[in-house]
Structure 1
Amino acid sequence: MRVSVVGAGLGGLALAQGLRGAGIDAEVFERDPGIVARFQGYRLVLDLVGFQAVRDCLPARWHPLLDEIVMDASAEQLILDPQLTEIGRLGASRTGIVVDRQVLRHLLLTGLTVRTDAALTGYDVLPDGNVEAHFARRDPVAADLLVGADGVTSAVRSVLSPRTTPTDTGVRFVIGRTPLTDEFVSLSKAYGSKVAGDGVSLLLGAMRFRTPPKRAAEQLAPEVTLPDIGDYVRWAMILPPDGLPADLTARDAVLSRMDGWHPELRALIEQADPDNSALLSIRVVTPGERWPSGPVTLLGDAIHATSPTGGNGANTALRDADLLRRCLIEVNEGRQDLLSAVDDYERRMFDYGAEAVRGSLAKLPAFTPGALSDC
């Protein structure tokens, strides 16, 4: 069996790793011109289901390395004012496993065949039941199954389910990261909490590695090359509807909203890496009407993009990868035919994927400074 995965995000790569480990031919196609063409290195919190999913997709020999490059998450989720005084609580403490997306992505890339500069333009289902993917600057590729793991603007989804389209919540935010130095130790109570200012909210999260990733790989899995990065603070400012002033950089726009704030909060933004700060919109994709089962399916944000305030986007994509991996192993072992396996995957994925989107939207108002548009 041969599987073509479109999209080299966490979900697509986890699926490809899981299939590779089961002896199934999986090739990944990525539209970016290179693997590191875009910075993708922010902190994520995985719940137990998401962490176990990625663990199950990876070779067992890399499990000690995975355990060494993560940290436990435990945050009280306070609401603080700009002087770091507690003024409320967001809810129950959040627990889980904290990972760096860039580091995890490099681990998942190890040993895979990834074709970059491969923008999908469409696909055809062939008379023999296989599927042929077409690319802008690459010859067509035939496979038993095509998996669209290509994000919110999925090219695969636009053909498979053209009426399933992203919804813009109207919320914008700036995200960035700052090295975690001794200067910011006193901010620890703000990590995992919300700082509520005048019309904006600032969210902070610390990434502390048990062992620096590069060194951990050299010691535990020399065949793996991980980025040489240290501890940092991931920050995100959720903006009011007027968004980002056109004449300011992302970092300077955040600072413009922080007049009179605690000096350590301002210093945190001032010392951020300007190349890794970006303005983003919050868009969601809700699974709609099921398409007839066939040799094409979707995974992750391509079919159920959530609001990041739900903290469940990566978790749900990794759950998809592990579920689809298990279904395809049954096909490879002759215990199920391909279309039945894909149908089983989609039926279950649609249910929990739609719930993940609903749950993330339900949490969005707690982090948003102004009224939300209907979505």
Structure 2
Amino acid sequence: MRVAIAGAGLGGLCLAQGLRQAGIEAEVHERDPAITARFQGYRLVLSQTGLTALRGCLPRRWHALLEAISGDAYGERLVLDPRLNKIGELGPGRSGTVIDRHVLRHLLLTGLTVRTGAALTGYAVLADGRVEARFAHGDPVAADLLVGADGVGSAVRAVLAPRTTPTDTGVRFVIGRTPLTGQFAGLSRAFGSKIAGDGVSLLLGAMRFRTPPKRAAEELAPEVVLPDVGDYVRWAMILPPDGPAGTLSPRESVLSRIEGWHPDLRALVEQSDPDNSTLLSIRVVEPGERWAPGPVTLLGDAIHATSPTGGNGANTALRDADLLRRCLTEGRRDFLGAVGDYERQMFEYGAEAVRHSLDALPAYVPRAEPA
């Protein structure tokens, strides 16, 4: 069996690793011109479901490394004012494992065949039941299965399920990261909490590695090369729906909105890396009408993109990867039956993940300021 995967995000790479362990040929095709063409390195909280799926697709010899480069999720989940005084609570805290997306992506890339600069333009099902994927540059690729793991703007979904399209929630947020130094020890109460200001909300999360990733790889799995990353604070400012972005840079836009806030909060944003501060929109994709099982399917944000406030986007993509791996490799089901079984289960929990993330969104979104 040969599987072509469109998209080198966490879900697609996790699937490729899982298939590789089962002896199935899997090649990843990524539209970016290089693996490091854009920054993809913020903190994630993995649920037990997401972590179990990830471990199921990785070689067993890397499990100790995965543990070493992770951290523990914690936080009081309070609502604080801009001077860090408690004014409310968000609800029960989430337990889980914290990991850096950039570091995890490098782990998942290890040993895989990834073709970059490969923007998929379409595909065709061949007479023998296989599928031919076509790209803007390079030769087409024939495979037994094409998996669209190519994100919210999925080119695979545009052909397979053209009526399933992204919905823009209107919410915008600026995200960045700052080295976690002793100066910010006093902010620990704010990690996992919401700081509510006038027309904005600021969310903080700490990434503390059990072992620095580069050193952990050198000691536990020398064949893996991981980035030299230290502990940091991930911060995200959520703007009101359709709030104006202005002409300032993302970081300057945040600073302009926190005049008079606690000095440690201002310092946190001032000391962040300006190249990694980005304005993003919150778009979701809700699974729509099922298509007939065939040699093409979808995974992750390509079919069930969630709001980040649900904390379940990466977890659901990893769950997809492990489920599809198991459907293709376990038991004696026919190929189309295996793909259909994956899609039936994925549609059900994927739709629930989107609903959950949208239900959680209002608690974090500030009201628009009066005109």
1:44 partnered with 2:47: no
Q: Report the Cα offset of residue 336 of structure 1.
A: 1.2
Q: Report the Cα offset of residue 242 of structure 1.
A: 4.7
CA–CA separation in structure 1 for the residues paired with 2:241 and 2:358? 17
Tell whether the 8 Å contact from 1:201 to 1:367 is kept in structure 2 after alignment.
Answer: yes
Tell whether the 8 Å contact from 2:47 to 2:95 is kept in structure 1 after alignment.
Answer: yes
1:226 partnered with 2:223: no
Correspondence for 2:204: 204
Tell whether the 8 Å contact from 1:149 to 1:301 is kept in structure 2 after alignment.
Answer: yes
Tell whether the 8 Å contact from 1:76 to 1:94 is kept in structure 2 after alignment.
Answer: no
Q: Report the Cα offset of residue 94 of structure 1.
A: 1.2
CA–CA separation in structure 2 for the residues paired with 1:348 and 1:241? 33
Tell whether the 8 Å contact from 2:171 to 2:242 is kept in structure 1 after alignment.
Answer: no
CA–CA separation in structure 2 for the residues paired with 1:93 and 1:121? 43
1:264 partnered with 2:264: yes
The TM-score with structure 2 as length reference comes to 0.98
Tell whether the 8 Å contact from 2:5 to 2:146 is kept in structure 1 after alignment.
Answer: yes
Correspondence for 1:362: 359
Partner secondary structure for residue 226 of structure 2: coil
Correspondence for 1:84: 84
Counterpart residue identity of residue 357, structure 2 = S
Tell whether the 8 Å contact from 1:124 to 1:131 is kept in structure 2 after alignment.
Answer: yes
Correspondence for 1:21: 21
Write the deviation string for residues 24-45 of structure 1: whole angstroms up to 9, x where unpaired: 0000000000001010000000
CA–CA separation in structure 2 for the residues paired with 1:244 and 1:115? 38
Q: Report the Cα offset of residue 247 of structure 1.
A: 1.8
Q: 5 Å matches for 1:286-301?
A: 286-301=286-301
Correspondence for 2:153: 153
Counterpart residue identity of residue 357, structure 1 = V
Correspondence for 1:304: 304
CA–CA separation in structure 2 for the residues paired with 1:351 and 1:241? 29
Q: 5 Å matches for 1:1-375?
A: 1-330=1-330, 335-370=332-367
Partner secondary structure for residue 8 of structure 1: coil
Tell whether the 8 Å contact from 1:150 to 1:302 is kept in structure 2 after alignment.
Answer: yes
CA–CA separation in structure 2 for the residues paired with 1:212 and 1:280? 28
CA–CA separation in structure 1 for the residues paired with 2:293 and 2:340? 6
Q: Report the Cα offset of residue 243 of structure 1.
A: 3.0
Identity across matched positions, percent: 76
CA–CA separation in structure 2 for the residues paired with 1:63 and 1:194? 33
Partner secondary structure for residue 173 of structure 1: strand
Aligned-pair Cα RMSD in Å? 0.8
Q: Any unmatched runs of 5+ in structure 2?
A: none
CA–CA separation in structure 2 for the residues paired with 1:163 and 1:138? 29
Write the deviation string for residues 148-169 of structure 1: whole angstroms up to 9, x where unpaired: 0000000000000000000000
Counterpart residue identity of residue 129, structure 1 = G
Partner secondary structure for residue 292 of structure 1: coil
Counterpart residue identity of residue 65, structure 2 = L
Write the deviation string for residues 295-341 of structure 1: whole angstroms up to 9, x where unpaired: 000000000000000000000000000000001103xx7x1111000
Counterpart residue identity of residue 38, structure 1 = R
CA–CA separation in structure 2 for the residues paired with 1:297 and 1:241? 33
CA–CA separation in structure 1 for the residues paired with 2:274 and 2:74? 28
Partner secondary structure for residue 75 of structure 1: coil
